[in-house]
């Protein structure tokens, strides 16, 4: 996505704005990550967990969670002059997955957040992006008290395609989240360049 912006003197300058998805299971830290890195007040569509939702939302391991995203989170971060990322956090529960197709339109890539205590919860997101050939990185959100696993262990457990980056992060920390996003942009850029070269080769 390319947007035109005007400078202070009234001239036009071209700034690149890239769309990034932040996905993963229920309660993994997607809203937290978007809020931590966004330089604008993030848009959130959270609702309180209801008694009815308890029948379908697995809160095991995230007992303190009292709200859930029902549409999307939105934020923006400037990586460097002329390059901004628009972040779209996806809802984690399967009953909201119909929104993913709309949100993924035009996305450069995605961050799949993972919690090693509930690693299986990020399988649907991994499968979604692999089948649609959308570049993604897996960011392991290191929760306090959770056992620590190395990137290679997580990669094997998720049976990721060779070369798919796995990074450890703290979704609450802006610098940590920014490093994840930079890693994704670099990886997605290499993937898109390789595909372009393959198509003309």
pLDDT for residue 6 = 45
Q: Who has greater pLDDT, 2 or 169? A: 169
Q: Is the pLDDT at 191 greater than 60, yes or no? A: yes
Strand partners, 37: none
pLDDT digits (tens, 9 = 90+) for 65-91: 445 544 589 999 999 999 999 999 988
pLDDT for residue 148 = 87
What region, left, alpha or beta, does residue 77 occupy, with left being phi > 0 and alpha being psi -120 to 50 degrees?
beta
CA nearest to 108, candidates 184, 174, 32: 184
DSSP 8-state assignment for residue 28: S
Strand 83-89 with 12-24, pairing: parallel
Prediction pTM value: 0.81
CA 154 – CA 157 distance, rounded (Å): 5
The alpha carbon dihedral of 170, 60, 68, 139 has a sign of positive
CA 199 – CA 190 distance, rounded (Å): 14
CA 85 – CA 17 distance, rounded (Å): 6
Mean pLDDT of 174-197: 96
Percent of the chain whose pLDDT exceeds 70 = 77
In three-state secondary structure terms, 63 is coil
pLDDT digits (tens, 9 = 90+) for 112-171: 999 999 999 999 999 999 999 999 999 999 998 888 899 999 999 999 999 999 999 999
pLDDT for residue 45 = 66
Cα–Cα distances in angstroms (integers) from residue 65 to residues 24, 47, 97, 105, 146, in the given order: 15, 11, 20, 29, 16
pLDDT for residue 12 = 46
Q: Is the pLDDT at 31 greater than 80, yes or no? A: yes
pLDDT for residue 52 = 47
Q: Which helix (H) or strand (E) holds 12?
A: strand 12-24
Q: Who has greater pLDDT, 125 or 49? A: 125
Strand partners, 78: 84
Residue 63 pLDDT grade (very low, low, confident, very high; cuts 50, 70, 90): low
CA 62 – CA 110 distance, rounded (Å): 23
């Amino acid at each position: 996505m390319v947007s035109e912006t005007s400078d202070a003197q009234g001239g036009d300058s071209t700034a690149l704005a890239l769309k990034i998805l932040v996905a993963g299971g229920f309660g993994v830290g997607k809203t937290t990550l978007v809020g931590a890195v966004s330089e604008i007040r993030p848009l959130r569509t959270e609702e309180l967990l209801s008694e009815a939702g308890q029948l379908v939302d697995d809160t095991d391991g995230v007992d303190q969670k009292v709200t859930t995203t029902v549409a999307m989170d939105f934020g923006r971060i400037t990586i460097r002059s002329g390059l901004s990322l628009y972040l779209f956090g996806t809802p984690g529960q399967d009953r909201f997955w119909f929104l993913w197709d709309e949100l993924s339109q035009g996305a450069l890539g995605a961050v799949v957040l993972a919690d090693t205590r509930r690693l299986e919860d990020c399988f649907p997101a991994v499968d979604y992006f692999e089948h649609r050939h959308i570049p993604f990185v897996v960011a392991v959100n290191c929760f306090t008290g959770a056992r620590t696993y190395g990137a290679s262990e997580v990669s094997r457990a998720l049976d990721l395609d060779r070369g798919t980056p796995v990074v450890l992060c703290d979704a609450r920390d802006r610098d940590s989240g920014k490093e994840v996003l930079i890693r994704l942009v670099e990886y997605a850029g290499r993937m898109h360049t390789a595909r372009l070269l393959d198509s003309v080769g």
